[in-house]
């Protein structure tokens, strides 16, 4: 009998160990797979921005995107990952209530030198740091790329890369540390809940772009002497629309990576998935709400525009407007919010254009304005719910303020510095000639592009 009990105990222990290995491998694979999905976002940004450029600038726009991706990853490794763990409690750099933040904690896990280097490279006992870093590096690259579309066809390459690094490896990371971290002071003190980062990624990036645009200025020919705007069409609408669809594919990886899997040392629950805030979530929540939001955004944009560019931008706006509460919205409510976001998209972009801002792809509107709209919508509908229990008007204003300031102020001031250094805007002669001719040793369309129009049959 005793021998049978011992054997049974050993079997149970072996089963537990095996289940633990399976869970750990699942957790590691879950985040690992989110990384290539998020790279699809960048394939989308690449296609979308190249399509939105005139043919004389198509490759220079692409070069800019590729380099932003390439520079944000290492700079996020050098600095950004440390900022995310060091900044949550604000400028005190003290340890937060969960004990996973502050100067000392960040120093122990997030520098690429000294003892913390053990967590910043291959380590057989650490199956989490690399995949978490990878997912966050993709969040960072995505944030930087949001700004990228707004500034096409007249920004200098190196100046743009500096802006992308400041946004992707610092500005948004501070916002994420404050409002997208279990120890973040906006979370612990004000109950901020922004599951899919409508404010922390999209609004920060959108308003960073606005700050840059104010000093970059419009493309030559965008505005007439009387201030009225001309439409500067990109050379390839199909490429732009497919690019937007690719961004939407990649969003599934982005939002998947916002989920904390169960059963690991870093998990909130043993048996269920959680948000970054420790509130429960299921992947079914995401499936229901993301799909309804995409559909709502497209329909909302179609009502006013009938334009495939704005319809696919509406799909993005649908996701962004509901991103904060994808974990707790009812799908039909997500659809209604997304329809409204799709409807206000084009009028909001036109409003900005009427104020002399040349946002070539509507990035400030899609990400900035709609990101804030999403934050406000959750504040309204989620008021009084668990983990949102201290939501009120002042908190809403604070959230509104911090995502605006953390994006707009760095964008504005770094753009001023670059302008003074002569590194912001390309010379007018180069802009008129086309940036590909001036600085890209390759041709986008060496055999030209056949014109199309109503007369062709």
Partner 1 sequence: MFPYDKADWSTVDGPMFMLAGTAWPGIFTAIAAVICVWVLVAGNRSEQAQYKKAEK
Nearer to partner 1, 37 or 312 (CB): 312
279 is an interface residue for partner 1 by CB under 8 A:
yes
Examine residue 285 and tell whether it contacts partner 1 (CB under 8 A).
yes
Residues 389-428 that bind partner 1 (CB under 8 A): 389
CA distance 346 to 208: 20
Please pick, from the candidates 339, 377, 406, 418, the single residue that binds partner 1 as defined by CB under 8 A: 339
> How many other CB atoms are found less than 10 A from the CB of residue 125?
6
Which span sits near partner 1 by CB under 8 A: 55-63, 149-157, 211-219, 275-283?
275-283
- Alpha carbon distance 160, 155 (integer Å): 7
Q: How far is CA 403 from CA 179, 206, 373, in A?
A: 10, 10, 12
- Measured CA to CA in angstroms, residue 386 lies from 193, 265, 280, 382 at distances of 10, 24, 11, 9
Residues in the chain: 457
d(CA 238, CA 51): 7
**Which C-beta is closer to partner 1: that of 84 or that of 381?**
381
Distance CA 339, CA 317 (A): 9
Nearest-approach distance from CB 262 to partner 1, in angstroms? 13
Count of residues touching partner 1 (by CB under 8 A): 27
User: Which span sits near partner 1 by CB under 8 A: 16-24, 44-52, 57-65, 322-330?
Assistant: 322-330
261 binds partner 1 (CB under 8 A): no
Q: How far is CA 68 from the centre of its chain?
A: 13
Choose which of 6, 303, 397, 432 interacts with partner 1 (CB under 8 A). Answer: 303
Q: How far is the CB of 270 from partner 1 (least distance, A)?
A: 12
Least CB distance from residue 381 to partner 1, whole Å?
A: 6
Residue among 100, 128, 245, 336 that touches partner 1 (CB under 8 A):
336
How far is Cα 184 from Cα 137, in angstroms, rounded to an integer?
Answer: 19
Stretch touching partner 1 by CB under 8 A, among 125-133, 159-167, 323-331, 398-406 = 323-331
Cβ(44)–Cβ(247) below 8 Å: yes
Q: How far is the CB of 288 from partner 1 (least distance, A)?
A: 9
Q: Contact between 283 and partner 1 (CB under 8 A)?
A: no
Site pattern 119..148 for partner 1 (x: CB under 8 A) = ------------------------------
**Among residues 43, 118, 291, 333, the one that binds partner 1 under rule CB under 8 A:** 333
User: Which residues within the stretch 44-73 sit at the binding site for partner 1 (CB under 8 A)?
Assistant: none
**190 interacts with partner 1 by CB under 8 A:** no
Q: Supply φ then ψ for residue 274, to 5 degrees.
A: -135, 165
Q: How far is the CB of 274 from partner 1 (least distance, A)?
A: 9
- Note whether 284 binds partner 1 by CB under 8 A: no
Q: Within positions 374 to 393, which residues make up the interface with partner 1, using CB under 8 A?
A: 381-382, 384-387, 389
97 binds partner 1 (CB under 8 A): no
Among 26, 330, 351, 413, binds partner 1 (CB under 8 A): 330
For the CB of residue 399, give the shortest distance to partner 1 in the complex, in Å: 18
Nearer CB in complex with partner 1: 157/279: 279
Stretch that binds partner 1, among 10-18, 221-229, 301-309, 352-360 (CB under 8 A): 301-309
CB of 224 to partner 1, least distance (A): 28
Query: What is the smallest separation between the CB atom of 258 and partner 1, expressed in angstroms?
Result: 16
Provide the binding-site residues for partner 1, judged by CB under 8 A: 278-280, 285, 292, 296, 299, 302-303, 306, 325, 327-330, 332-333, 335-336, 339, 381-382, 384-387, 389
């Amino acid at each position: 009998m005793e021998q049978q009990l011992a054997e049974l105990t050993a079997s149970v222990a072996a089963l537990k160990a095996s289940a633990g290995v399976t869970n750990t491998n699942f957790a590691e694979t879950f985040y690992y797979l989110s990384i290539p999905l998020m790279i699809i976002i960048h394939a989308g940004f690449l296609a979308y921005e190249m399509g939105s450029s005139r043919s004389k600038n198509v490759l220079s726009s692409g070069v800019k995107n590729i380099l932003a991706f390439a520079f944000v990853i290492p700079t996020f490794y050098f600095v950004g990952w440390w900022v995310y763990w060091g900044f949550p409690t604000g400028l005190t750099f003290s340890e937060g209530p969960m004990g996973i933040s502050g100067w000392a904690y960040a120093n122990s896990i997030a520098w690429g030198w000294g003892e913390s280097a053990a967590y910043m490279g291959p380590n057989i006992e650490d199956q989490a740091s690399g995949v978490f870093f990878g997912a966050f590096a993709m969040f960072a690259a995505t944030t930087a790329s949001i700004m990228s579309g707004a500034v096409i066809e007249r920004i200098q390459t190196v100046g743009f890369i500096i802006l992308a690094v400041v946004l992707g490896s610092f500005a948004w990371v501070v916002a994420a540390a404050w409002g997208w971290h279990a120890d973040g002071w906006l979370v612990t003190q004000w109950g901020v809940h922004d599951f899919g980062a409508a404010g922390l990624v999209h609004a920060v990036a959108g308003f960073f772009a606005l700050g840059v645009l104010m000093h970059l200025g419009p493309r030559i020919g965008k505005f007439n002497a009387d201030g009225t705007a001309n439409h500067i069409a990109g050379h390839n609408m199909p490429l732009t629309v497919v690019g937007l669809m690719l961004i939407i594919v990649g969003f599934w990886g982005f939002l998947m990576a916002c989920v904390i899997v169960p059963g690991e040392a870093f998990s909130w629950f043993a048996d269920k998935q959680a948000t970054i805030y420790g509130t429960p979530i299921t992947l079914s929540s995401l499936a229901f709400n993301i799909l309804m939001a995409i559909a709502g955004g497209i329909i909302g944009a179609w009502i006013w525009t009938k334009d495939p560019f704005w319809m696919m931008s509406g799909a993005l706006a649908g996701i962004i407007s509901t991103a904060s509460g994808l974990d707790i919205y009812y799908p039909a409510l997500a659809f209604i919010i997304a329809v409204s976001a799709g409807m206000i998209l084009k009028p909001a972009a036109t409003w900005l254009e009427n104020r002399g801002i040349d946002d070539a792809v509507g990035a400030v509107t899609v990400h900035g304005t709609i990101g804030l709209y999403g934050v406000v919508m959750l504040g309204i509908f989620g008021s009084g719910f668990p983990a949102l229990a201290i939501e009120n008007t002042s908190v809403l204003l604070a959230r509104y303020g911090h995502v605006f300031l953390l994006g707009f102020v760095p964008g504005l001031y770094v753009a001023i510095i670059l302008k003074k250094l002569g590194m912001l805007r390309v010379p007018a002669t180069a802009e008129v000639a086309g940036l590909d001719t001036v600085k890209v040793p390759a041709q986008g369309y060496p055999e030209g592009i056949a014109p199309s129009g109503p007369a062709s049959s």
